[in-house]
Each structure stands twice: as structure tokens, then as C-alpha cells.
Chain A
Amino acid sequence: MDQKNKKSKKPTYSKFSQQELPAWKPILTPGWVITSFITIGALFIPAGLLALAASDSVVEIVDRYDEGCIPDAYSQKAESYIQNPNEKKTCVRTLRVPKKMVAPIFVYYQLENFYQNHRRFVKSKSDKQLRDANAQDDTHSCFPEDHTADNKPIVPCGLIAWSLFNDTYKLSARGKAIDIDKKGIAWKSDKEAKFGSDVYPKNFQKGALIGGGKLDERIPLSEQEDLIVWMRTAALPTFRKLYGKINTDLDAHETITAEVENNYNTYKFGGRKKLVLSTTTWIGGKNDFLGIAYISVGGLCLFMAINFILLYVFRPRRLGDPSYLSWNRQPLV
């Protein structure tokens, strides 16, 4: 009892309670600041150069085909062309390989001005339904593509699946077809955990309004890799998605013929479609941004360091000079 009282009354003593913890108190001395700016500059500029070099070593072929694949007759009404089921959609594009491309070569389709991140779009899917065969009725988040007119659940439901990209590409060089490997384009983790191997498409694209591609109802969702890739929504309105991989090298200056099945309607909203063939390096695909940004940030740091050095030399100022304290000066009378 007595002890308890003592405990509650007497404050606890510790370095923490007395606010006396040993502390490191750095200040911004010219030495510190200038050194760190120089260090950053010295590190960032080479790193930027490296990144630029890496980006430069990536060979990339980009071909915009959405305009070129419209027959002249339809040039003013591309939308009616793409919506006309009777028109033949095949179109042939010629690509030139600028430099030797070493396998694996990735084949992407690039969409521009396509808002996969639109709020109505991005939420319109049911993770549960995709994963679990017993949850096919779990479509409440899929509005407006949740069930068919006769109230049957759509599998896979939602706008994302409904708008599946369905252009196809066939590549050939010198008359010989280049094999595009469509296996393993989706993330393994998605195939295993997010898309059920016992979930089969049902009532898909059966409504009055047909969106994008259709799915083979005999293949489970976990094997529908194009769908899986498509359903990894992009954060930006310009994005590339993996179409397939080419496992053979392409020689420099080779001419590649791409036979494009131009099915997907981007004409309505002025979206662009591009076919991209690209190699990759440690930094990823071709992207000069990192390199340039590194070099400019490093350069700015060096510039700052030089300025500070000049300032330090020409306008030295003694740190902690008490004469700078206004109350140490004589008050002005």
C-alpha cells in the first residue's frame, strides 16, 4: 500500500521522462550541405548516363495502325466500318527492324486515350467471381454488365472483361511466319490465385451490346491469358499490354509483315492503337525519362553546390555569431 502510494506520487525518473535522451544535433553547416549536393550530383549523373545507355540499347518498333487499317472508302466514317460485321478487318502492315533484336522480343499492343482507370470501369469487376466457381452470382460490383437480359449471371462479369481487346496480330518475315508465343504473358500469380482454373466463361458477350472480344467457353479463366492481362487495369490512359513473345532473334533491317485483325473500336473516342515490338533490359523497356531525370537532377545538385561554394567564399557568414541576435544590439532610440 505504502509502496503503491509512493509509486503513484513520485514521478518516474528516466532520461525519457526528463527529456534528456542523448541526442545528435546536426546543423546545416556549409560543409555538410555542399558535400551532400556534390555527392548526389556525382552519383546521379553517371547513374543517369547508365540508365540512358540501357534505354538506348532497347530496340523498339512502334507502328500505329488504327488509321492505316481503315479502307479509303471508310476514311470519314471509321466507326461504321469497325461496327460493320460484314467488312473484312484484316490489314497488312510493314515494319522495319532498325537494329538487331535479341530474343525474347515482346509484342505489345498500345492503346492511347483509353481510360482503363475510369471510375466506372475500374470498379466493374468481381474478384470473387473470377476466383471461385461457386461465386458466379457475386456480380453486384459489376454493374452495368452484371447479368444478361434474362437475369443470368455473366462470367466474367463487369465492364473490364466485357471490353476485352480483340485485335490479333500475325507476323511474318520473308514469307515465313514468326511464331508469337501467347503462353506465359499473364502473371503467374494472377493465373494461380486470381483466376480460377474451374471457372468457365458463361453468358459472356451474349447481350444486345457486344463490347470487345469473346471467350472460348471451354477454356477456364485461368488459361485465358489475354483476359488476365487485360484485366490488370492500367493507371494511365496510354498503356501497353503484352500480346505475346517472340523467341527468335530478328535481324537488323529485316522487313516484317504484320497481319492485323483490326476488330477493336477505338474510333468512337479517338483512341489510337499501336503495335509494339520491343526488347528489354535491366531497366525495362525503352524509357529515356529516368536517365534524363537523373542527369538533370544531378546537374542541378552540382549547380547548387557551386552556387553555395561561391556564396561561402564571397559572402562568408560566421555561424552562431551572437551579434546577429537583435537583442544584443543597442535598441534604436
Chain B
Amino acid sequence: MKRFVYVNDDDSSHELYCDNRISNRKYTLLNFLPKNLWEQFSRFMNQYFLLIACLQLWPLITPVNPASTWGPLIFIFAVSATKEAWDDYNRYLSDKKANEKQVWVVRQGSKKLIQAQEIHVGNLVWLRENDEVPCDLVLLGTSEPQGVCYVETAALDGETDLKTRNIPPACMGIDSELLHKIKARYGYRGVMECPLPDKDIRRFDANVRLFPPFLDNDVCPLSIKNTILQSCYLRNTEWACGVAVYTGNETKMGMSRGVAEPKLTAVDAMIDKLTGAIFIFQIVVVIVLGIAGNIWKDTEARKHWYVLYPEEGPWYELLIIPLRFELLCSIMIPISIKVSLDLVKSLYAKFIDWDKQMIDVETGTSANATNTAISEDLGQVEYILTDKTGTLTENKMIFKRCCIAGTFFGNENGDAVKDVELLNAINTGSADAIRFVTVMAICNTVVPIKRNYYSASGTVLYKAQSQDEEALVRAAASLHMVFVNKNSNILEINFNGSLKQYEVLEYLEFTSDRKRMSVVVRDCDKGNIMLLSKGADETILPCASAGHQTKTFSDAVDQYAQMGLRTLCLGWREVNEAEYQDWSFMFKEANSTLVDREWRVAEVCQRLEHDLDILGVAAIEDRLQDGVPETIETLRKAGINFWMLTGDKQNTAIQIALSCNFVSPEPKGQLLLVNGKTEDEVCRNLERVLLTMRITKAEPKDVAFVIDGWALEIALKHYRKAFTELAILSRTAICCRVTPSQKAQLVELLKSCDYRTLAIGDGGNDVRMIQQADIGVGISGREGLQAARAADYSIGKFKFLKRLILVHGRYSYNRTAFLSQYSFYKSLLICFIQIFFSFVSGVSGTSLFNSVSLMAYNVFYTSVPVLVSVVDKDLSEKTVMQHPQILYYCQAGRLLNPTTFAGWFGRALFHAIVVFAITIHSYAFEKSGLEEVSMVALSGCVWLQAFVVTLETNSFTILQHVAIWGNLVVFYIINWIVSAVPQSGMYTIMHRLCRQPAYWNTMFLIVAAGMGPVLALKYFRYTYKSSKINILQQAERVGGPILSLGNIEPQPRSLLDSDLAPLSISHAKNARNSVFEPLLSDSPNALRRSFGPDFFHSHSPYSRNKDM
């Protein structure tokens, strides 16, 4: 299937393709109610409550007033629906803003300003500098004579550099006036044949055919290089115009946006599971009691004449007693749990919003929890998938040190630009230093921005494809070598006030194979021709002229790499005119070959790049964000695995990974490469890496694998199983050159292995993975707010992640774990009492408690005290930060799982027995009035739960005291008031009870008998079988330093058994076999592939073999 786009045809495509209206909305006005209700009722719990509420409408079976279920139910639904509606309204507003943006579009042959949503496929769209691209366009013309324009694609792929885009050759040279006229009406035609919309932002295989009078009517191929995509920005180009090929939600951006699924936390899932278990238990109870009730009725109840059972009942008679029990037991699943959980969850979110320790001081942005429902998941994160640029790094490259002709600069103060000696060297005219700085300033493809040329501050803005080049040019400017202007081929340099001009003769472009780039320039004053080169040490140093000492430089590279700096070597040589002319001819020839062009060009380049004078080594820092290494280290200690997913180059990624503790340096860590262009290669690599992984599994070693986008694509497609295994085995991974949808796929892969994933990123390219992950965290950074908006949490800096997870996530999980289990406990408690009571009431389904008490018990007496557990802290924040390993308890779900739940279940059963047995025995005979017994039992429950909450609370703030003890007081006040109402069933009951010593005796007895064993058990466990949390609690309260040494044991992974037992690996010399691979040193297809940015190779000590 193809789509045909008729250029500038107003009419033809309107019906065929959608307009440019973007819609992220979930509901419309009409479908909101049914759709929302449908969604809400798709949750099992809601269906259950609805069923119960409906059953309660039948007075024959209801034990309590139906309002006690309907009220909360309607309230819950109203709250969730309102929230959904509000969210959707906000989405509508933001869509509207984007849709109503004004753009210039050619209509009826003239440019008109219309709203972005009115753009149709085939329209000619005109953009001016800094305009956002409204839809996917194929370029037709730009202001630049060479037919290029610059776009910033940060929103799409997260790369902040400027990318050049070209107009298709067929359109080269079309006059801008003529552009309007590419249309059938004028006899001019243009047809584009494009693929159907997809989400691949790296591919656009289309062609265009322009008919006369345009240049030729041959089919001209189009690629992604000829497009500018939605949400990019036009930069450094006065204007550009293009044909809309994809619009609205069909753009590459729109297609890769994906629909955000509502997220369910692991805790929620566990609660649902437990609810299911309780439901089954309830059904069993109902069936058993129902059968018992019917049997008792038929054998016994008919003898009890005062009950006056009719001989013949209606057909549904057999169902009545089971249904009564169903309703009686319906409180087993507490309706209040949803309300309380929603309430505390929104409070957790508020705590995150309020946290002043998570405010970015520089920008003043505070953390923000957009999704208020998933805070617990933060505490259960097992994998963090992080973007690199802008997330880990500040996305600012800075030139820091250099070594010129054996002299180190910047070593003392850490900043070469401010090194007095270097400045002196330049000022005094040291030839080496000046050449070095000249290479820095002009050996690049940087574009200085003209309008700031003579700005008051004197600074020039640079736009570069490579951040490193920008850093070098900027540093050169600080060293008085200011690259001020680029006028087609003439570069203007302002050196100490004097203007120097260079004519660029050739660019010897950078490729990832060459790992170096050079320019051939002619000094306009002297007329001599020079070759200036820069690149990775491994590719520059071998080009040094014979006899030139390179030892100092390779030492310098080593030294800088150890500091985590990106290094590159700079070199030059003079080229005589004749040599240049010869070479230039070959170069032009190579450039015009059709077969193997890249290879031919590289070969020709090499003929010029030899006998270089090595000038020195420059070291650049890609500044990590504040606190990133510490954060990663802490979180890794907490047992969280890190994956770096970046669109960036492999070497850069590895470099950053090393510098931020992502992977450990060599003796401890090991990097395994998975790459390859073909299936076979990838498969082989994968096998090899897996083997290594399995072997090193038992060793306390940090093994990470590195994979690039291409290999990843193949691995995901053909070797999914092997790759999944690899993913499970590896605590760390670096994935480079990955697309947004690959990022999302990786998240999905980990999710499918049942891991909790957190994705963190800052750019539009991270949006999909953020949405896909269990938790999405956006950094509201330099790349705009796109990621932050799509994310569940947005933070100002990466370092806040530590606090977000260890403090907020952990507390949230602990609190919810307690709260949810407690909710079940208290419901089970009262339900068990009802069940026991049914055994002494002829299994007839009588409710011991009245409606008011039941409702108040659930929504008030037992909910209020437990709600204050939102401020409970088991350990202080400081202790948790010191011992991040303690997060393991949350990750492994140690505080909320079927086992702990069984504990609470047992406690509920035990307490119900205590309350019921004590009540019916102390209130026997003449005191056994139904209302009194009911009140005594209820008071017993309320007393017990007050002490249960007390025992389970770790820190008592004023709120806890008020809520727990105040609640008891309020219980008596409420019941006194209700007892004063003559119409109520319990008129005067509470007054009477409170006057009886036996009542108070019973309460004390219930508390002592109920809490004694619980306390004893807890104390025993706390002291003699203490968990790590207990130990830390004790240590914290007892005081004194707590030492934490090693790492937490790696999490148990059951997928692989250990039949591949640890072989003894010889760490012998030259361990270059296929299995053992010390940090990337070898790989099958590259003799030596080390880290460092592509052509700024830094020689890292870690890449050496271990035998050193």
C-alpha cells in the first residue's frame, strides 16, 4: 500500500487522509459516562460491590440498610469519574493549543495564515526560523542556496544538535516564487509516492516525480534526509517550505506516541490477588453456611414454632439463606479500602510535590507527581532504564584540559581555559599552542550564528552537530581565538583582535570507521595549504610523521581517560600545492563514485592524512549532572539494576556509563559487546555473551552488556528468547543508537519478565518508554517539558531519583502494605464475629451488628486511625539513605504478600475468637440482650484495633496519638449520642454499658487476651528473628554508628539453574579467548573497539587486559 501525495492540491486528499488535528483525548462528551463506567466496572472489586449493592435492595435477605453500600459506592465512582474527566479536559486543552497554532500554508496559490489543524496532506507549508514543524513535511525549498536547512530534532529523538536536511535533488534550484505553482491547475505537477504512516523516524522510503516545466520528470528518491518531521524546530534557516505528507495522528511523532495505558501498581495487583483469594474464601464460607443454614432450617427451625416457618416456601427458598450469608460476609472485602487507598495515595503524591529537598535550586522546579496512584511502585523498582543525554549528563560539553607538545595545561586548576601558562603561551606566540588552538577553532563543521556577531557581550553563538566540536570552538574563543564567521568557504577567525581568514578547501568528513575528521584550508594571508586533523588517539597517532614521539600523547590520553574525560588528538601538516592538486582530483573522483563511495572516499582521505605533526591532546568533559554517580551507586546498592538506553553513539555511552558508576572499572567490571549487522553475527555474539554471563554469574562481578540499535532490532526479532535471558542475567546494560520505540520495546521486554521498571528521560524520544514503563519519570530539563508531561513523576535533576525511590517510594510501599492488610484485617475481624454469631443464632443469617455500627466501623472507627499511617516512618530517611539495601524488602514485596497476609488473616481470626468468646461468656444469661452483646463486641473490636494500630506504628507523631486515642474517645461520644436517640435501636444501651464494671472488665480482658500473644510473638521475632529493618530500627534508636559495607546479595534469579557451574576462568595473560572479554577489549569484528566518543577516542586503562 502506498499513499500518493499530490503537491499543493487543495481538494483531492481531503477525504482520503485525516487533517492535522492532534488528539490525545480518551473520551468525548457523549461517550464519557458509558466509557468511564465501563472502565471502572472492568475492575473486579467494583463489579463485586455493585452486585452486593444490588442484592441489598432485596429486603428479605439484606441484613443491613442498603444505603450503607450504595452511599460509598456512588461516592467512589463519582470521585474517580471526576478525576478522569479533569485529566481528559486538560489533554483537550493542550491539544487545542497545538491545533490552533497559526502556520503559513499555500492556499489557492497564495500564502495564508491558517490554524495548524487545517493542514491537509499535500499542502505546501512555509516555516520560518524557530517555527515548530506542524506535521511531517518533505522539503521543497529553503532559504539556503545549497538547499539545506537545519532542524532540531530534540523532541523526536532527544538529540539536541542541529541536523541538516536537504531538499531532494529534483527540486534543487526551484525558484521560491515558482514553488507556489507546483500544482495541477497551473499545469505543473508533483506527485509523491510515500509509504503508509509508520513510527520509524529513521526511514522514509519514498519518491517524488515532478513534471515539466520542472527540471526533469524522472522519479527521484526521497529519504528521511529530505523530510522535516512534526515537533522538530527549524533553526538557523530563514525559511523552509515543504509538502505535508503525514498529518495529525498519522505523523511519525503521532504514530510513536502510543496510548498511555492506566498503570496498575504491583501493590494494587497484589491487593487484587488477595481480594480474589478472600472472595473465594467468602464463597466457600457462604456455601458452607448456606448449606448448614438450610439443613438447620429443615431439621430444627420447623420445630421452633415461634419462628413460624411456612411449610411451603417460594421456589427460591433454598437460595435465601446463602444469599443472606453472602451479604453478611460481603464486608469481608472492605469497600473502604479503595477510598482509603486513593486518599493516602494522593497524599503520598502531595508529599512528593511538597518535598523541599527535591526542589532544583537552579531552576526552582519542584518535583511533581502527575500520577497520584503509583507511589508504591517507586519502592518496588527493580530496573531503571535511563536515557543518557540530559538525564545523566547536563548535556553541556566543556573543554577542560589539554596537553600541548608534552606540556600539560589545566592540571592544577582543572580548567585549561583559565590556566595562566596556556594563556601566556598563546600570548607570547608559542607556535605549538597557537596551532593547537587554531585547529580547535577551525577543524570542525560548526556554524557560528551571525546575528550575535557583534553583540554587546562579544560572544558568538555556535551551532554544531557535535557537542564536542562546539566545546572546542568555545574554548578556543576563550583562548582569544574566536571563530566569528563562516561565509560559504571563508572562515573568519579573530585572534587577539586581528582578523584572520582561512579558505576551506575540503572537508574530510567524519565517519565512524575513520574516527577522525580533517579539513584542508588555505591561509588567506600566506597562501599556504594546511591539513588540520582531529580524532581518536588510535586513529590520529598512527598517522604521526615518522620519528615523531607519540609516547607523551598516549600517556596524556590515558591520564585524561582515567579522569573520565573525553579525549581527542589534534594534528596538522603543511601540504604543498602540487600534492593538494593531485589529491583533490582523486578526492573529487572518489566522491562521485556510485559504488562503495564511502570506502573509496576513506581510502583517498587516508592518502592525505599522514605524516601529521601531533599538536596535542584535548580533553573534554561531558559534565555529569550533580550527584549522578552517587545516586546510581546508592540505587545499585539498593538492588536496582540500571539500563542505559540512548540514541547516542556507543563509545560516548560507555564513557558516560563508566564515569557515573554505571559499570564498575575493570578488575570488578566487565563489558560485553553485542553487535553485528547480520543475523548470524548477532546470534554468535549473543551466544558468546550469554555464555560469559552464565559463567560469571557466580562471581561477585559487575558484568554489563552493550548492544547497539541495529543488533537490538535483530535480537528482539529473531533471538528474543536468548536476549530475554541475557536481560535477566545482566544487572547492567548499555543500549546505544536505539529509537524511541526500541526503548519502549526494551521496557516491555523487562516488564514481560515480571520486573518492575522505571524509565527516566528528559526528551520527547523518551516519551514512549516513559509511558510504557511501570513508572515513568521525566526530567524537566533543557529539552523541554515533553517527557515531564508524559511522565508519572517529573523531577528537576537525576539525583532526586534517589530520594524519590528510597524515601517516597519506600515509605509509600510500607504504608500501603500496612494499610491494605489492616483494612482486610479489620473487615475480616468483624466478619468472623458475624460468622461465629450465626452459629448461635440458628445459622439464620442474623447480623449481630446494626447498620449504623457496621458502617461507622468500616468508614470511621477503623479507617481514621489507620489513615495516619501515612506519616509513619519505620526508619529515618537518613538511615535509609545510608542503607539503601533495605529497599530489598520493598522490591521483593516482603511486606505485602500472601504470607504476611496470612498473618493478618490469622490475627483477624484469633481476635474474632477472643472478642466473641469473651463477649458471650461475660455477657451471658440475664445480660445477654442482643443490643448489649452487639455493643460489647463492637467496643471490643474498636479497642483491639486501636492497640493493633499502636503496635504496628513505628513512629508516633502527634497525629497518631490524636487519631488512635481520639478515635476511641470519638467512638464513645458517637455511641453516647446515638444511645440518646429514642428512635434508635440502641437507645440507652451505651449509657448502661458504661456504668457496668463488667463492661470495662470485659474490654480490658479482650485487649489483654487479644494483644498479649500478638505482642509476645512480635517481640520474639523482633529480638530473636529480627529482619534487617528491625535491626536498623534498633540501631537507629540505640544510637551509634552503623556501618554498612558490602553490597546486597544479587537478587535470586530462578530462571537459570547452575548447571553451568562456575568454571575456573584463567585470568591469565592474553585471555583473549571467545568467552572472556575484559571490558570491551576485543570483539570479533573489530580488532580493538574501545570506549571514548566516536572520533575522540580516549584510551581508557580499563580497556587494557587484566593482566597488567
Residues of A at the B interface (CB closer than 8 Å) are 9-13, 16-19, 21-28, 30, 33, 36-37, 40, 44, 47, 51, 106, 108, 110, 114-122, 127, 144-145, 159, 162-163, 187, 189, 193-194, 209, 211-212, 232-242, 265, 268-270, 282-285, 287, 289-290, 293-294, 297-298, 300-301, 304, 308, 311, 315, 317, 319-322, 324-331, 333
B903 contacts the other chain (Cβ, under 8 Å)? Answer: no
Neighbouring A residues of B926 by C-beta, 8 Å:
106, 108, 239-242, 284-285
Neighbouring B residues of A33 by C-beta, 8 Å:
1015-1016, 1019
B578 contacts the other chain (Cβ, under 8 Å)? Answer: no
Q: A293-B921, A293-B1005, A330-B1046 are in contact. Are A11 and B356 (CB under 8 A)?
A: yes
Q: Which of B201-209, B347-355, B515-523, B598-606 contacts A (4 or more CB under 8 A)?
A: B347-355
> Looking across the interface, which residue of chain A has its beta carbon closest to that of B1042?
A322
Query: Of B698, B988, B1001, which contacts A283 at CB under 8 A?
Result: B1001
Query: A159, B306: Cβ atoms under 8 Å?
Result: yes
> Looking across the interface, which residue of chain B has its beta carbon closest to that of A283?
B998
Apart from the given pairs A118-B304, A283-B998, 5 other A-B contacts in the complex at a CB distance below 8 Å: A118-B842, A162-B306, A236-B920, A285-B925, A331-B700
A268 to B924, CA, bound (A): 24
Neighbouring A residues of B846 by C-beta, 8 Å:
117-119, 122
> Looking across the interface, which residue of chain B has its beta carbon closest to that of A307?
B1016
B928 contacts the other chain (Cβ, under 8 Å)? Answer: yes
Neighbouring A residues of B324 by C-beta, 8 Å:
119
A218 to B925, CA, bound (A): 32
Query: B844, A325: Cβ atoms under 8 Å?
Result: no
A178 to B353, CA, bound (A): 79
B300 contacts the other chain (Cβ, under 8 Å)? Answer: yes
Query: B930, A234: Cβ atoms under 8 Å?
Result: yes
A235 to B926, CA, bound (A): 11
Neighbouring B residues of A269 by C-beta, 8 Å:
300, 303-305
Neighbouring A residues of B998 by C-beta, 8 Å:
283-284, 290
B281 contacts the other chain (Cβ, under 8 Å)? Answer: no
A280 to B1018, CA, bound (A): 41
Query: B840, A23: Cβ atoms under 8 Å?
Result: no
A23 to B406, CA, bound (A): 62
Neighbouring B residues of A19 by C-beta, 8 Å:
351, 811, 871, 873
Query: A120, B308: Cβ atoms under 8 Å?
Result: yes
B556 contacts the other chain (Cβ, under 8 Å)? Answer: no
Query: B353, A119: Cβ atoms under 8 Å?
Result: no
Query: B959, A301: Cβ atoms under 8 Å?
Result: no
| Contact mask for chain B residues 273-317; partner A; CB cutoff 8 A; 1 contact, 0 none | 000000000000000000000000000110111111110000000
Query: B1046, A115: Cβ atoms under 8 Å?
Result: no
B1008 contacts the other chain (Cβ, under 8 Å)? Answer: yes
> Looking across the interface, which residue of chain A has its beta carbon closest to that of B310?
A144
A328 to B700, CA, bound (A): 15
Query: B1001, A235: Cβ atoms under 8 Å?
Result: no
| Contact mask for chain B residues 916-934; partner A; CB cutoff 8 A; 1 contact, 0 none | 0010111111111111111
Query: A120, B844: Cβ atoms under 8 Å?
Result: yes
Q: A18-B356, A285-B926, A322-B1043 are in contact. Are A236 and B840 (CB under 8 A)?
A: yes
Neighbouring A residues of B845 by C-beta, 8 Å:
119
Output the least CB separation between B914 and chain A (Å): 10
Output the least CB separation between A323 and chain B (Å): 9
A30 to B1026, CA, bound (A): 13
A10 to B841, CA, bound (A): 60
A131 to B22, CA, bound (A): 68
Query: A118, B1031: Cβ atoms under 8 Å?
Result: no
Output the least CB separation between A236 and chain B (Å): 5
A23 to B957, CA, bound (A): 4
A119 to B996, CA, bound (A): 28
Q: Which of A110, A236, A238, A329 has the most chain B CB atoms closer than 10 A to its own CB?
A: A236
B235 contacts the other chain (Cβ, under 8 Å)? Answer: no
A308 to B1021, CA, bound (A): 12
Q: A23-B956, A118-B846, A236-B924 are in contact. Are A294 and B1005 (CB under 8 A)?
A: yes
Neighbouring B residues of A282 by C-beta, 8 Å:
997
B1032 contacts the other chain (Cβ, under 8 Å)? Answer: yes
Q: List 13 A-B contacts (CB under 8 A).
A: A33-B1019, A44-B1004, A106-B926, A110-B925, A116-B930, A119-B846, A120-B309, A193-B982, A232-B930, A283-B997, A284-B927, A308-B1016, A333-B699
Query: A118, B844: Cβ atoms under 8 Å?
Result: yes
Query: Of B306, B922, B983, B1016, which contacts A304 at CB under 8 A?
Result: B1016
Query: B988, A189: Cβ atoms under 8 Å?
Result: yes
Query: Of A16, A235, A319, which contacts B933 at CB under 8 A?
Result: A235
Neighbouring B residues of A300 by C-beta, 8 Å:
1012
Query: B1033, A118: Cβ atoms under 8 Å?
Result: no
Neighbouring A residues of B1004 by C-beta, 8 Å:
44
| Contact mask for chain B residues 938-970; partner A; CB cutoff 8 A; 1 contact, 0 none | 000000000000000011111100000000000
Output the least CB separation between B510 and chain A (Å): 45
Output the least CB separation between A19 and chain B (Å): 6
Query: Of B306, B837, B922, B925, which contacts A238 at CB under 8 A?
Result: B925
A234 to B920, CA, bound (A): 11
A187 to B929, CA, bound (A): 12
> Looking across the interface, which residue of chain A has its beta carbon closest to that of B932?
A235
B1034 contacts the other chain (Cβ, under 8 Å)? Answer: yes
Would you list which residues of chain B between 1022 and 1078 have a CB under 8 Å from chain A? 1022-1024, 1026, 1028, 1031-1038, 1040, 1042-1049
B366 contacts the other chain (Cβ, under 8 Å)? Answer: yes
| Contact mask for chain B residues 996-1015; partner A; CB cutoff 8 A; 1 contact, 0 none | 11100110110011001001
A116 to B930, CA, bound (A): 9
A258 to B928, CA, bound (A): 25
Neighbouring A residues of B1001 by C-beta, 8 Å:
47, 51, 283, 290, 294
Query: Of B308, B351, B1047, which contacts A327 at CB under 8 A?
Result: B1047
Query: B1036, A234: Cβ atoms under 8 Å?
Result: no
Query: B1016, A17: Cβ atoms under 8 Å?
Result: no
A25 to B876, CA, bound (A): 10
Query: A268, B873: Cβ atoms under 8 Å?
Result: no
> Looking across the interface, which residue of chain A has its beta carbon closest to that of B989?
A189
Query: A159, B308: Cβ atoms under 8 Å?
Result: yes
Q: A18-B355, A108-B926, A240-B926 are in contact. Are A320 and B955 (CB under 8 A)?
A: no
A308 to B1020, CA, bound (A): 8
Q: Which of A9, A26, A115 has the most chain B CB atoms closer than 10 A to its own CB?
A: A115
Neighbouring B residues of A120 by C-beta, 8 Å:
307-309, 844
Query: B925, A326: Cβ atoms under 8 Å?
Result: no
Output the least CB separation between A89 and chain B (Å): 17
Query: Of A121, A235, A327, which contacts B1046 at CB under 8 A?
Result: A327
B848 contacts the other chain (Cβ, under 8 Å)? Answer: yes
Q: Which of A12, A21, A28, A121 has the most chain B CB atoms closer than 10 A to its own CB?
A: A28
> Looking across the interface, which residue of chain B has its beta carbon closest to that of A60?
B925
Query: A28, B1023: Cβ atoms under 8 Å?
Result: yes
Query: A297, B1009: Cβ atoms under 8 Å?
Result: yes
Query: A293, B306: Cβ atoms under 8 Å?
Result: no
Q: Which of B873, B920, B928, B1038 has the most chain A CB atoms closer than 10 A to its own CB?
A: B928
A236 to B933, CA, bound (A): 9
Neighbouring A residues of B63 by C-beta, 8 Å:
119
Query: Of A47, A187, A294, A327, which contacts B1045 at CB under 8 A?
Result: A327
A304 to B1009, CA, bound (A): 13
The 6 closest A-B pairs by CB, nearest first: A320-B1035, A320-B1034, A163-B306, A235-B933, A23-B955, A193-B982
B883 contacts the other chain (Cβ, under 8 Å)? Answer: yes
Query: A232, B929: Cβ atoms under 8 Å?
Result: yes
Neighbouring B residues of A12 by C-beta, 8 Å:
354
Query: A18, B956: Cβ atoms under 8 Å?
Result: no
B641 contacts the other chain (Cβ, under 8 Å)? Answer: no
Output the least CB separation between B4 and chain A (Å): 50
Q: A236-B920, A333-B700 are in contact. Are A119 and B956 (CB under 8 A)?
A: no
Output the least CB separation between B390 and chain A (Å): 23
B987 contacts the other chain (Cβ, under 8 Å)? Answer: yes
Neighbouring A residues of B883 by C-beta, 8 Å:
325, 327
Output the least CB separation between A59 and chain B (Å): 15
Q: Which of B309, B873, B930, B1033 has the most chain A CB atoms closer than 10 A to its own CB?
A: B930
